[in-house]
Structure 1
Amino acid sequence: MFLKISSSGGHRYVRLVESFRNADGQPRQRTNATLGRLDEQGGPLDALLRAKGRPSGDSDPSQVRFESALALGDVWALDALWHELGFHGLGAIFRRARFTTAVEHAIRVMVFNRLCDPESKLGVLRWLQTVSMPGIDVDKLSSHSRQVVD
């Protein structure tokens, strides 16, 4: 989905649009919601922006800023493969050996990083901030890793 600005009758409107393919495989777009007039002060679009904590009024609503999302696709596929191959069982082995840190999580993060975006061991922590990794407590793993490095 994406935002689309369209003009009609001398006014500009913001619409939430979805791309899809029809039964013949041809790309199409459909409007899921009309968010309001872009040039109307105090209208539904301004109310929506205020509800999301964005200032309205003097600000230019056409300058909507998007923040990047965490990457998930490749990591999700690797996580499914990790579990299918039984590597998640390494956690129990390390717990029986009385390891107090999540060694299996650290190994999983390093392996996934090498496959997705190879980095140094410290670079893994930077990479970890850009992805969504199921079952990994990023803050706990990062703080423990920094203690080990120091």
Structure 2
Amino acid sequence: MGAAAPPTRRRLRPDAWATFHALHCLQASEEVLGEVSWNGLRLIVAHDPVVAQEKGAQRDTRIAELEQLAAQWVGKLAAHDTGRRSRGKKLTDGGARVRFYHAVYEAHLARIIQVDLKSEHFCYDIDERALQHARMMDGKLLLVTNAVDLPPREVVDRYKALADIERGFRVLKSEIEIGPVYHRLPERIRAHAAICFMALILYRVMRMRLQAANSELSPTRALAMLNRIQHHRIVIDQTKSVAGLSTISHEQARVLSALRVRKPVKTA
């Protein structure tokens, strides 16, 4: 029985699989699955060209937006240096530097866009080597295994099955909050665990339906949006009651449609 796990970023250098990438992945139109030898182990390479194209396009769009933002700030700084005033608070090199750094960090591009925090002037640089490495990683799953008798497809399938189980436990511990358990009697502890696992099943069903509807929302985000729907009842003079339902927004209606759940209605 062997083990399979993603290699650490520091241990695995891109040149370990650069030749495989150039020969099999660059012009691929279908899923690619293969392996190379690395440090006496098997390095399994799975490449999805559709995911790679989507990831690359999203990154290029974020980089272009950040460069456009930087160009706007450079223009404002140049205008200030020449004495021209613009509306709003005066922009300084230090302010632009810090704001741009945070924008890059929030876009998860800090490895590619290097902001010089020590410079007196606002400046940055694109690390072409890091960008090229990121493009090579687009759409890829890399696994290192010592199992000599498993074909690459089985290695990937087993890892994905294990990862899905681990993801389920993370959901139980975070979103569903299976612990701590404030119960003493065994039947209550079993009931608590049963309710949590039923919630996990519902979570999985939500995830599958959202994916089938091509929704970008996660189950957690979808639930957060639906939690804003309120049903209220007002009692007047302890005899007459009036019920109401908050307005269903367009976004909430889309979530309900993706989940194939009927819209809530006002009860009498």
Name the TM-score, length of structure 1 as normaliser: 0.30
Structure with bigger RCO (C-alpha 8 Å, 6+ apart): 2
Greater fraction helix = 2
If the length of structure 2 is used for normalisation, what is the TM-score?
0.20
Which has the larger Rg? Answer: 2
